[in-house]
Structure 1
Amino acid sequence: MSVPHADSLFFRTLEPPEGWEEAGREAVAASQRARMLDAVVRAVGDRGYANATVADIVGLAGVSRRTFYEHFDDKQDCFLAAYRTGVAVVIERVVATTAATPEDDWRERLRVGLAAYTAVLADHATFARTLLIDVLGAGREAVELRQRLYEQFVALFHTLSERAAAIDPAIAPVPDVFLRAVVGGIGELVQQHILSEGAESLEELTPTLVKVAETVIEFGGRRA
């Protein structure tokens, strides 16, 4: 059975517990799906969303058009599935990393969370471009999905801000409107870095992102 690339963002996410080679019919379907999710990200990364076609996707995935339509309605359905799956991986990585950090050190939680974010995007550079750039040309539903991702990050920063306020009496919880500005600003900085330097070096941006977020959390809701 053909399996997805081992370094694909979707390989470990959809891999059956017993492994690709040992599993049965369900694993075949999971393997096909993982390969198509990987393929749509690569096709869009190479050609742009508007120019990428179902033919590109099935060619890169090594599946038939019939198999494609057994899983997805059209190109956008496949793209959105890849986006949702990849976003879940990114969020899970950030949450798991911060959860392993002491609760009473909000600055360290902020640092390791943003480090995890830039690391997973650097490890999966093509998806990083999809996450922040290509999605903007994939229609209203894709843009709305991107906005929901931003709200998930706002919620993470909200929790961090509340924890900082509980630890330091001089810090007050930051209004969500400020936190949305932080998330949007981080997205813009990451996007600019991808366009100018490439996603592979995103970890170099981590200290800047930490400083931006730390400043807003420390002073954005500061008590007089």
Structure 2
Amino acid sequence: MPASPPDTPPSARSRGDDQRRRLLRAIGTVVAEKGYAATTIADVVREAHVSKRTFYEHFDDKLACFLESYRRGNRGLVRRMRAGAAGDGPWPERLRAALRAYLAVLVDAPAVTRTFTMEIQAAGPEALALRRRMHRATADALREIVDDVRRENPELRPLDATTAAAIVGAMTELILDAVADGRTGELERLDVPVGRLLHAVLTAPADPTEPADQGESTT
């Protein structure tokens, strides 16, 4: 949607930002309760305590609102993951801290976690394409974290794009299984198996048959 014109009073911009945030939170909550297909715009505006007119000032349709909520949520996860790795300490602890920070967000918002792990699959091809882009963004962030760790630990192997995507994919599947089984509250425990996988990749001995350009990927 277009940004507010320059002459929009600050109070009106602030009110609009608040309404948008409420709508983004509301769609995550309602979809968790009713499922994506059964959720209506009337449900969303009721939960957000705004009018339908307000909804259409911010979003073209239910899908647009849903995708923006997912996009913002994933960006928040990536920010928390980066922040988790920012402390001092041995590199395995920093990487585990990054994973725990990511997973803690999911535990703290179980309804929204269910929405964007289970119901994203019901929202159609555009939603699935966005999920792939968000997974790539998470994998890119993981590579950046590893690059930062390697500055003080050059003995570690670099994390190439394909392997980073594989690790994020494995973590995503573990999250999906836990949520489907009603074990969202246990998600933080996944830092152990995912951390072990990442540790094994970074400390694996060099393979003489491995191509020299493993830092690149077409995925």
TM surpasses 0.5:
yes
**Residue of structure 2 in register with 1:9 after alignment:** none
1:107 aligns with 2:92: yes
178, 183, 206: which is aligned to 1:223?
206
**Residue of structure 1 in register with 2:214 after alignment:** none
Percent identity, aligned pairs only?
A: 34
- Determine the C-alpha separation between the residues in 1 that align with 2:150 and 2:17: 44
**Residue of structure 2 in register with 1:211 after alignment:** 196
Amino acid at match of 2:69: A
20, 40, 50: which is aligned to 1:33?
20
- Determine the C-alpha separation between the residues in 1 that align with 2:145 and 2:48: 40
**Residue of structure 2 in register with 1:42 after alignment:** 29
- Determine the C-alpha separation between the residues in 2 that align with 1:175 and 1:139: 30
1:194 aligns with 2:179: yes
- Determine the C-alpha separation between the residues in 2 that align with 1:96 and 1:173: 20
C-alpha distance 79-204 of structure 1, shift in aligned 2 (>3 A): same
153, 157, 161: which is aligned to 1:176?
161
Shift of 1:161: 4.2
**Residue of structure 1 in register with 2:5 after alignment:** none
Shift of 1:60: 1.0
1:84 aligns with 2:67: no
- Determine the C-alpha separation between the residues in 1 that align with 2:40 and 2:54: 15
- Determine the C-alpha separation between the residues in 1 that align with 2:186 and 2:157: 34
Q: CA contact under 8 A between 2:85 and 2:145: conserved in structure 1?
A: no
1:151 aligns with 2:136: yes
Q: CA contact under 8 A between 1:106 and 1:160: conserved in structure 2?
A: no
How many residue pairs were aligned? 197
Moved more, 55-64 or 206-215: 206-215
Q: CA contact under 8 A between 1:122 and 1:201: conserved in structure 2?
A: yes
**Residue of structure 2 in register with 1:71 after alignment:** 58
39, 49, 63: which is aligned to 1:62?
49
- Structure 1 unaligned regions, length at least 5: 1-22
Output the aligned Cα RMSD. 2.0
Moved more, 174-183 or 186-195: 174-183
Amino acid at match of 1:223: A
- Determine the C-alpha separation between the residues in 2 that align with 1:25 and 1:99: 37
Shift of 1:126: 1.7
Shift of 1:168: 4.8
Secondary structure of 2:16's match? Answer: helix
Q: CA contact under 8 A between 1:125 and 1:200: conserved in structure 2?
A: yes
Q: CA contact under 8 A between 1:154 and 1:180: conserved in structure 2?
A: yes
1:98 aligns with 2:85: yes
C-alpha distance 24-141 of structure 1, shift in aligned 2 (>3 A): same
Q: CA contact under 8 A between 1:44 and 1:130: conserved in structure 2?
A: yes
Shift of 1:216: 2.4
- Determine the C-alpha separation between the residues in 1 that align with 2:146 and 2:16: 42
Shift of 1:30: 1.7
- Determine the C-alpha separation between the residues in 1 that align with 2:60 and 2:44: 13
C-alpha distance 73-207 of structure 1, shift in aligned 2 (>3 A): same
**Residue of structure 2 in register with 1:126 after alignment:** 111
- Structure 2 unaligned regions, length at least 5: 1-9, 208-219
**Residue of structure 2 in register with 1:7 after alignment:** none
Q: CA contact under 8 A between 2:143 and 2:159: conserved in structure 1?
A: yes
